[in-house]
Chain A
């Protein structure tokens, strides 16, 4: 659909003997909204800084439009950045913050070796146009520290975009905003990206943000890329237990692949759609909480005991004990705590993954209180969760 713009080849990064990036290979298409997603310390910000030119990789190459740019300093790259805490210039007003990059620009001019500055009229026109498109008209002469978080955010975006970069890097730009504003800005960012038609590379630890905005999600952990794909691919076909747990809610159960399209769990065979495994290969089975139907005990493929019920408005989150392993099920039917229920899973609700280093670490809802915080979107809890994993 579109051509490749940035290629990262065998990128390695280490700091104080600790590996930050471990052989990263990634290409990014023109006009793509790509998100680097992962827990803190996974290497996503380092990857972004390498693309921006602020960090030099220990080994590996960065190509921009086919040209190796490892040694090109940040101010000569056609890339601009929206920094995590905005980094607006406190001594300049809104207008001058946005105009900063334009005042640095030199256009080729036969009379001057360094090139000519942009005319004040040109700068003024572009700054005003940009402020208008981020709804900050009338704020030109405001001090930046007199703005709200959301307004500062938009100044930071305007300051970067006014230079008409080929790529915009965004380092957790919504992290400092409250939930409501964050949701609005997600839609706003996506709109801006489609309007200006350039590549956005977005770093976040928030899976929901990534799913909402991205064309492509790159899931990272411990300096490795775990999976690259569209939001649908990553949600429906997670590659390993880490991805399945990080994106959305998952029950991850030990299973054995009996043969193509048949997987055995709890000593019972289930029909599924996956194939290509060895006979009797041990696997991880992912079952999303919304793909499970509750049925009378006698009709169930499995039976378990309800241990916890939480009303969530649209559905109940219920925790069900299946022989010591606790599942999360999302359902519109109420089942009281202590009752026995049966469940049924359709073949397309079962996703089989190869065993990985993450097997057995995720997917059990025994420690329900932690998971409960996570379900409620408590940011701190989510951060800690991320750090632990």
Chain B
């Protein structure tokens, strides 16, 4: 019986092997060889010159994840407390942008943030620049928003926020209301109910939200390209250049990919461990 059932998993196992295991092996082979197919560690030792790109990628992704958490948790908490009608509408509004093409969404942010884009035109119209200039004595015509780290972070937050809200929302929604009543019954005021019951019980949602925002953020290349305008090179851009761009060197690209993958896996493992520790801390 069990053997028969396990046959059903065979297509998935084949799929996994062909499209995950083999590519990783190919990548590993590339990472440890030169273009002359000689084994080497050079690809890893050469990577030092890109340290700043590594740091920037992880920093921007971390900031974006933190902002997503700070916006997403209260939003999810608020949504879960409202009536079913409100929840349906809110869910639809959160999902709606995700039905549009990712690049299209990011391009539209470009036209909003440009020097002669929507926001700057708005500031112009309401006289913000003339006011500022008269106070500071400068001659500002527009804010430089595009091609800044802030724009890249904004792009990440905008694109990945739903992945933070949804898991937290579903965890909070499933919380047993009796537990909240029990906590109040035992003398907890609303702040204590939140800190000692709701927050620890919603941590699994927070952890999966953080993972789902951080991982795509750290490896993005479209957002940093479009909103960073080449000034905010991230790991994704770097890797893409090694495979498709002018700096063609798939061996180095493979090595960078591997290092990034390992760092991400380590981060996730650390966070999951920390998450469990958190639960214990709240217990004590």
Contact = CB atoms under 8 A, between A and B. Distances in A.
B181 A101 contact: no
Interface stretch (B81-89, B96-104, B145-153, B194-202): B194-202
Contact of B189 (A75, A87, A89, A96): A75
A96 B196 CA distance: 11
Given A100-B186, A104-B192, A74 B201 contact: no
B186 A91 contact: no
- For the residues of B in contact with A, the DSSP-based class is helix
Interface in B172-186: 176, 178-179, 181-186
Interface stretch (A78-86, A186-194, A344-352): A78-86
Contact of A83 (B178, B192, B201): B178
Contacts of A93: 283
B187 A91 contact: no
Contact of A73 (B179, B184, B200, B282): B184
A52 B189 CA distance: 15
Interface residues of A, number: 27
Contact of A90 (B185, B186, B201): B201
Given A75-B188, A101-B187, A104-B188, A87 B283 contact: no
A74 B178 contact: no
Contacts of B200: 91
Contacts of A105: 187
A88 B192 CA distance: 16
B188 A87 contact: no
Given A83-B178, A87-B176, A87-B181, A159 B186 contact: yes
Interface in A110-135: none
Nearest to B193: A75
A79 B183 CA distance: 13
Contacts of B186: 75, 80, 100-101, 104, 159-160, 163
Nearest to B179: A87
Interface string B139-181: 0000000000000000000000000000000000000101101
A91 B184 contact: no
Nearest to A120: B284
A163 B283 contact: no
Nearest to A103: B196
A265 B200 CA distance: 68
26 contacts: A52-B185, A54-B181, A75-B184, A75-B185, A75-B189, A80-B186, A83-B181, A87-B178, A87-B179, A87-B181, A88-B182, A89-B179, A89-B182, A89-B197, A90-B179, A91-B200, A91-B201, A91-B279, A91-B282, A92-B283, A101-B187, A159-B186, A160-B185, A160-B186, A163-B186, A163-B187
Interface of B: 176, 178-179, 181-189, 192, 196-197, 200-201, 279, 282-283
Interface of A: 52, 54, 73-76, 79-81, 83-85, 87-93, 96, 100-101, 104-105, 159-160, 163
A-B pairs with lowest CB-CB distance, top 3:
A104-B187, A101-B186, A87-B178
